[in-house]
Structure 1
Amino acid sequence: MQTVRPIALIGPMAVGKSAIGQQLAQQLGAAFLDTDAVIVANHGTIADIFAGRGEHAFRELEARAVAQAIEDAQGTNTVISLGGGAVLDSGTQQLLDHCTVVYLECDAETVAERIARNSGRPLLAGDAMERWKALFATRRPVYERLADLVIDVRSGSVPDIAHRLKDALGGPAAAKTAAGSMPAATKEVEK
């Protein structure tokens, strides 16, 4: 008998992991956990952590939050949203083997308006779009390598994208076994 695997949403900053994750969890009747929200609830704003303790301290808190979320979600129907840089940690990469990993794929045009509205992203200080593009260029290969499924989020509303993702996962039954047993073609972008 196969066990339920949590669904982990990965992708760049401002792609909509939290909103899509909440909507997907609702559609699946699953629990939802946003690791950035856990960090903020326990340690203060991400901007304050960066300003007071630095990026390295934030990454340590992030790795612990992700590890705890994945551990707590094992065997449950849970959707977990990870921060954009969480996948850079080698321990996190190993833990994601225990999840169905969904890469929410986008481009700079997709996130430009969201980034312009939100100045609280410490890694985007200065020319936010140029910083985003540079971060995305280094992280994209990691997202692609870790993904069991890639969903194009460049068009559609949040509920529509979540519904496409639910369909791509095959509903609750397929979500249980998605990673490792999905045909290779499933790794292609779902539009």
Structure 2
Amino acid sequence: MAVGKSAIGHQLAHQLGAPFVDTDVVVVSNHGSIAEIFASRGEHAFRELEARAVARAIEDAHGSNTVISLGGGAVLDSGTQQLLEHCTVAYLECDEDTVAERIARNSGRPLLAGDAMERWKTLFATRRPVYERLADVVLDVRAGSVQDLARRLEEALQRYDAGTPASIPAPAGTKEVEK
């Protein structure tokens, strides 16, 4: 949440000449704003819509190099986790100092109502083990422009696809993990 998934994913897709799908955008275009969905139908309804959007994006992308950006909580769905086992998953790793300014600028996140940073810390503590377990590639996004981060992610994905062992050094700020 607030790590730049959409911006970096869009840039990566551009670099690769690949389609880009942001599942949050899909949900919003089909069902209205996320805040409205949370307010009128609740988080559970949103998560169901999100899981369907993710499943459809993965199904539509089968056999292609599509870049799909998932909402930060999408990975908590067990069905989504199973689908992601068959995808190359990049985890954009960040810390609270880096996301604090971004969260302060965007107060429209329903799950961060109240004390946004305390809520973020709680959510991140729950999600982080799932992110780490599902990740094929981990990219530290604490420093660098969107273009630089997307370039580093592309390089890390190429090394992953080539089967390069994790012991080969990655560019500064990037690390790969083996599944």
Matches within 5 A, 1:104-115: 104-115=92-103
Match of 1:183 in 2: 165
Distance, in Å, in 1 between the alignment partners of 2:58 and 2:127 is 21
How far apart are 1:92 and its partner, in Å? 0.2
- Please, what TM-score do these two structures have when normalized by structure 2? 0.91
Match of 1:62 in 2: 50
- In the alignment, structure 2 segments of 5+ residues that lack a partner are none
- In the alignment, structure 1 segments of 5+ residues that lack a partner are 1-12
1:103 match: secondary structure: strand
Q: Which amino acid aligns with 2:121?
A: K
Q: Structure 1 runs of 4+ off > 2 angstroms?
A: 181-186
- Please, what TM-score do these two structures have when normalized by structure 1? 0.86
Distance, in Å, in 2 between the alignment partners of 1:149 and 1:132 is 23
How far apart are 1:77 and its partner, in Å? 1.6
Q: Which amino acid aligns with 1:92?
A: T
Q: Which amino acid aligns with 1:74?
A: H
Per-residue CA deviations over 1:54-95 (Å, capped at 9, x if unaligned) read 000000000000000000001112100000000000000000
Distance, in Å, in 2 between the alignment partners of 1:120 and 1:96 is 28
Distance, in Å, in 2 between the alignment partners of 1:138 and 1:77 is 29
1:77 match: secondary structure: coil
RMSD: 1.7
**Which of 77, 81, 86 matches 1:98?**
86
* Number of residues of Structure 1 aligned to a counterpart in Structure 2: 172
With over 3 angstroms needed to count, the CA separation of the structure-2 counterparts of 1:160 and 1:22, relative to structure 1, is same
By relative contact order (CA 8 Å, sep 6+), the higher-ranking structure is 1
Distance, in Å, in 2 between the alignment partners of 1:31 and 1:183 is 28
Distance, in Å, in 1 between the alignment partners of 2:72 and 2:92 is 11
